[in-house]
A and B are shown apart, each in its own frame.
Chain A
């Protein structure tokens, strides 16, 4: 045997496997424990399942109000003339909307359905902001009559509004949706008029010159889940500049700047690594960026500041409780396998990836639309004394794409274990589709700790009630 020093070489053994496989050789690479979720606002998770069945959506009123108050405080302490509107599309459960309306939120709607819903909840027209590229003629007529603020998206809509207000006695309040380059990619050029090529200025000029319309708001919404507070600074600067342009050229000072939403929740996109608390700037940083710009304006020229925040307020208040209905694949860390058949390695070779423990949950991506972009966390409801290992969470749908998490570190789970998926409060309810199975019940835990059923579990009748069988098909 030679004692000469040999330069290190990268062995084939390592080259065959993904870098993650190397981590698996260290049993403790993922730490020793996984956080468990025993209760939500003091109500044990297991009791919620017992009382309301599984799967089950759970919302925390306390969390929503806490988030709303923090958001309000962040802005109002810096810029008192700030108002918020609840983005209905984020979650239009009546109970959720009401919580925010109680906190002083206006309603921000983007369709006739949402408009009707807000009115049904008792929101006055003046307290509704009507947004979106697809407003129907009828709903616009209604909104104009009821004094809602219409934030105009395109020239055709402007033309329609001009037509609808031609004989009006009082000018209708309108806003202009503007898209601009705040450094965020992709630029959301789908909505509104372009600031950069002068289109927004022209639209504003046309509105200002029309005595039947009153330009009340400049509105932009630079994107969703914006991690850079500076982008809001740029957007605010640009809107302030456009407002100044309209003031200088048309002697009309616009009342309100609406910066839309897009503040991130503590949810991570796929591929993001690290704790959300470190990756996502606190809301106060965003408030600083925006109000720094506005506070440079002279007192008389300060506009009302508005937001249409959705995700930030409600995402973390929502949970989806599910049960493990089947366990598949490799249950233990690969290096700990004692099975001489090397079944785990065979799977690894066939799939050309790491062997994983896979769990089938009793809820699928039809309820978790946002799982396509976000890493939804999964928490067992009991403490498990085992190190987490790479695992996969399947949904219950009879479709290959129904994977909630392709890769998640979880301790070994058993059949019937309760898994709480969180955060799921934003968009998942409003985008959940009835597919294959019934949609689950939704429970709200009030600030007093009472559990309230705010939406029943779907039944057959809920689904087939609107249906009609033609008479020739009703005979057997």
Chain B
């Protein structure tokens, strides 16, 4: 039923109500738009892309209403210019168009305050400097496109430096309005100096403003505050050291630079961690030294107090560190819009799940395989070539005369998608026990992987390779046959990845995906998402189970109504906020075709249908006990699941609860991982008689607040239909009451009303 029919049904009262609701939503939308523009712009100066926390910064700025008014003017100009230039700076942290314009406008307010010129002139000046700062910011953003360097507040700095150089007396006059800060002599004074320092970035060097700025940063991220403070202390130490050397350094007005540089390098642009604490120190020291240099270079001009020293330090350190790419001592933060703790958690989570951008390869052979040599092998996988696997058949099969069980002439399939870059196909196969030392790799194929890197498959049978150079192949494309060519005394397949196309280039780490380890003792099948098998392992490629694949790929968009039953004591994290027993979960798709299980205010869980498995990939503002349990119950379900198969994975759900929230601030520095592993067993695969797929999960967690066991059922079209969590002293059962198929996208639903 669409909204129009609903209104017709309801009569006059209904129409009135609907109209009021529309007005409410329009007003709300407008407020959110204005509020977000204001608070995100000011927030981005301090690397805080958060609506309500940004508002705290505005309160700080409102200490001087004149500055706030000018800031709004500058913001409007920056936003207008952004519209004209058709650029959005919503995702720019540390300074976009609006932030630069806003700061330039505040700067003009400060500069013109003591001049005694008319308000109109002041406003014109402010507008001009805001426009110039945002134009410069846009130009710098253009220049930096494709680099990892942030645009920062360079636009504002350049405009301010220009204005300061035009009218040095203005700056002297303006500075005279500000309090002179004596060198602190005791702890309280030091704390006050620190606080005033924080506010001086926005020309509000008062305790109150500084406290508010500090509070905002602390609320957004504890690690940012810690690294900023470390930067500040380091910078001040350097300044004091220069003081000891009798070099004049009026450090207080520039000291916010130490904080900004320490914070940006220690936890914003790089992920927090032990090494990044050092970066914070380097940032603070560097900014302090540069501040000193600028003061002396510009002979005490106010330009030396602009955030130039922080910006230069950030660029220099970032440039130096990122040269090493993935091997750098600290990880670049690819999600700066998240708070650093969460960004760190996510990055660690994905590296735990799939490695650090290592190529992911499928098993290139069918049937049971024996890893006769693994990474850092005993024989030849050593030194520069340590990341390689040798595949053979397990022993009983090797003794079996059945040719189907022999590795010799077994078909070789591509382990990943890519382009064939090199082939050798004419090396004769060796007699058993004999190597051909003239041809190290024998017959080989080198594939340039779509995901980056090169894969080498070696020792193939002479003349068996059926593909050609420059052919694009998919994972699973037939390539040739296992042989015994090159340095190979017995038939086997050698697989390695390397960072250049030459055969025998140094290897890089990779992981095998979607394979099963077969335990000869227990007989159970352990499915691995992405791992490196070790020497002696028996592995087998995961072959999609049609029934499981059908159930998982058929999950339809729609609305599911769930019934909740609870017994006994349920830990607070999983307790329902209200005693209501009904839960509505909307399932929609995002633009990447991923499923979003959304519970409205309870947040959402995103799952993707990867080539090998249904996998939970993201939790957004997750608060709903149901979605938390679903994520923990099935972080992933491989299509290869069969009754009795077990696998383990970790859910993308951050540690829950207030204590965890606080402890997250120190986790990056403790070097301990905080993931909850889920050990899943497929108790029933979907089968005869409409039997749903049942998965029983045991959680590896020391926390008493976590469930001991979760059982969930999946059915065709509807996806999850039952979820039962056993806690130490209680039980929570969710059963699907109804599932109404619906429209695929969130926008459809909001249009429908």
Q: Which residues of A contact B (CB under 8 A)?
A: 162, 194-202, 206, 209-211, 237-238, 241-242, 244-245, 247-249
Contact = CB atoms under 8 A, between A and B. Distances in A.
Given A195-B737, A196-B738, A199-B740, A210 B563 contact: no
Nearest to A245: B582
Nearest to B10: A209
A11 B11 CA distance: 83
B8 to A, nearest CB: 11
B591 interface: no
Interface string B731-748: 000010111110000000
28 contacts: A162-B9, A195-B738, A196-B738, A197-B738, A197-B740, A198-B559, A198-B561, A198-B738, A199-B740, A201-B561, A201-B740, A202-B1, A202-B740, A206-B1, A206-B9, A210-B9, A210-B10, A211-B11, A238-B737, A241-B561, A241-B581, A241-B735, A242-B738, A244-B581, A244-B582, A245-B561, A247-B582, A249-B584
Contact of B9 (A200, A209, A245): A209
A242 B6 contact: no
Interface string B718-737: 00000000000000000101
A244 B9 contact: no
B717 to A, nearest CB: 10
Contacts of A238: 737
Contacts, number: 56
Given A198-B738, A238-B737, A241-B563, 15 more contacts: A162-B9, A196-B738, A197-B740, A198-B740, A199-B740, A201-B738, A202-B740, A209-B6, A209-B9, A209-B10, A211-B11, A237-B563, A241-B582, A241-B735, A245-B582
Contact of A200 (B6, B584, B738, B741): B738
Contacts of B563: 237, 241, 244
Among all A-B residue pairs, the 7 with the closest Cβ atoms: A198-B740, A241-B563, A198-B738, A245-B582, A248-B582, A241-B737, A244-B581
B86 interface: no
B520 interface: no
A238 B562 CA distance: 10
B580 interface: yes
Interface string B569-589: 000000000001110100000
Interface string B2-19: 000010011100100000
Nearest to A196: B738
B739 A249 contact: no
A249 B558 CA distance: 17
Q: Which of B1, B14, B737, B740 has the most CB of A within 10 A?
A: B737
A194 B737 CA distance: 11
Give the interface centre of A202, A238, A241 by most chain B CB atoms within 10 Å.
Answer: A241
A197 B582 contact: no
Contact of B739 (A198, A202, A245): A198
A199 B738 CA distance: 9
Contacts of B6: 209
Contacts of B581: 241, 244, 248
B580 A244 contact: yes
Contacts of B561: 198, 201, 241, 245
Contacts of A245: 561, 582, 737
B302 to A, nearest CB: 62
Contact of A248 (B580, B739, B740): B580
B580 A197 contact: no
Given A211-B11, A241-B563, A197 B1 contact: no
Nearest to B717: A197
Contacts of A248: 580-582
Contacts of B740: 197-199, 201-202
Contacts of A244: 563, 580-582
Nearest to A238: B737
Interface in B577-622: 580-582, 584
A248 B564 CA distance: 13
Contacts of A199: 740
A196 B739 contact: yes
Contacts of A242: 737-738
A247 B578 CA distance: 14
Contacts of A247: 582
Given A196-B738, A206-B9, A211-B11, A249 B559 contact: no
Contacts of A202: 1, 740
Contacts of B11: 211
Interface in B317-332: none
A209 B8 CA distance: 11
A210 B9 CA distance: 6
A458 to B, nearest CB: 49
A202 B2 CA distance: 12
Contacts of A237: 563
Nearest to B579: A298
A222 B135 CA distance: 72
Nearest to B738: A198
A202 B1 CA distance: 9
Given A241-B581, A244-B563, A248-B580, A197 B10 contact: no
Contacts of A162: 9
Contacts of B738: 194-198, 200-201, 242
A184 to B, nearest CB: 13
A247 B563 CA distance: 13
A249 B559 CA distance: 14
A244 B580 CA distance: 8
B232 to A, nearest CB: 52
Contacts of A196: 738-739
